[in-house]
Amino acid sequence: MDYLVVFKAAGLVGGLSFLMGSILALASIKLKIEVNPLVEKVLSVLPGSNCGACGKPGCEGAAEAIVAGEASYDACRAGGPEVAEAVARVLGIEAKVEENRVAPVLHCGLNRKEVAKKGFYNGVYDCLIAEQQTKGDLLCLYGCLGYGSCQKACPFNAITMDENNLPVFDLKKCTRCGVCVSTCPRGLIRFVPENARLVIKCSSKDRGKEVLSVCKKGCIACGICVKACSDGLSLVENIVVIDYEKNPDCPRGVEKCPTKCLLPYKA
């Protein structure tokens, strides 16, 4: 056996790899792209889940935008004040402490056992598809469809569906990124201030009689709560609207609400 062949082959391959490696090493020095070290530092304090809630293509895009001044230091909605503070520290600027934190609330309080249904839905179990085509099995055109698209969309697993097929938010896991808010085809999930004292658990714009004919828990626009506390509560398009700027507390309205859709809130 001619051992020389082995050495020849090893030498050839080794030589080639050395040559190629040298070219690559040279290229990496010569063709180096200047990355702003600040971007990497900012990226390291961002959550890194690439949820896209800030509107940028992932956390790297957000970091670039923040450093370039195209986005504010608190652009990361998922990170909240802690991340904003960390980003501000990296950038060397002062972070303003955000007072008005928000929390997601489902503006529907239907009871799936009582609510009037069209029939049996045997399509795709997805709210977006159901809403676009058959509108699910509820007679109410505003109520929660219950197929859990918000749960599937949540990047932080903060949503679970309860036995009534309504989403429940785990505020410890929730980062207020707002993906569920934009996912819900009926716009039922909306942010309210964390210190809010009232929520309205209905979104139906139908008149009272029509609401009652399909759901016993809907807002019938009777206006009793508005009469009890006119400051901060109003009726717009057959539904009670709460002005969170004034942040009303209305125990008499809650007590007198005939369908119990106006409820006290605690984050």
Partner 1 sequence: MRLLTFKGGVHPPERKELSAEKVIETAPLPSLLILPLSQHIGAPLAPVVGVGDEVREGQLIADSEAFVSAPLHAPASGRVKAIEPRLSFTGVKINSIVLEVSDSQEKTGLAPLTQADLTPEKIRKRAREAGLVGLGGAAFPTHVKLSPPSDKPIDTVLINGCECEPYLTCDYRLMLEEPEEIISGLKLIMIAVGANRGVIVVEENKRDAGQILNEIAEKEENIEVVLTKTKYPQGSEKHLIKAVLDREVPSGALPFEVGAYVQNVQTTIALSRAFWKGEPLTERVVTVSGEAVSHPKNLKVKLGTPAQDLIEFCGGFSEEPDKVIFGGPMTGFSIFDFSVPVVKGTSGILALKVGEIELGDRSNECLRCGRCLDACPVFLMPVTLANLTLAGDIDGLEAKGALDCVECGSCAFVCPTRRPLVQLIRYAKFEVLARKKK
- By beta-carbon proximity to partner 1, the closer residue of 95 and 141 is 141
Residue selected from 29, 119, 172, 209 as contacting partner 1 according to rule CB under 8 A:
119
Q: Tokens 């942040």: give the residue.
A: 247
- By beta-carbon proximity to partner 1, the closer residue of 125 and 156 is 125
Question: Could you tell me which stretch among 135-143, 161-169, 219-227, 237-245 binds partner 1 (CB under 8 A)?
Answer: 135-143
DSSP letter for each residue of 102-118 = EEEEES----TTTS-B-
Which residues, at least 6 apart from 87, have a Cβ–Cβ distance to it below 8 Å? 42, 45, 46, 66, 73, 74, 76, 79, 95
Question: Could you tell me which stretch among 56-64, 103-111, 134-142, 233-241 binds partner 1 (CB under 8 A)?
Answer: 134-142
Alpha-carbon distance 48 to 140, whole Å? Answer: 39
DSSP 138: B
- By beta-carbon proximity to partner 1, the closer residue of 72 and 133 is 133
Tell me how many residues contact partner 1 (CB under 8 A): 15
Residue selected from 6, 10, 124, 241 as contacting partner 1 according to rule CB under 8 A:
124
Tell whether residue 135 is a contact of partner 1 (CB under 8 A). Answer: yes
For residue 248, give the nearest of 196, 193, 190 by alpha carbon: 196
Alpha-carbon distance 41 to 244, whole Å? Answer: 37
Tell whether residue 50 is a contact of partner 1 (CB under 8 A). Answer: no
Instruction: List residues near partner 1 by CB under 8 A.
Output: 118-120, 122-125, 128-129, 132-135, 139, 141
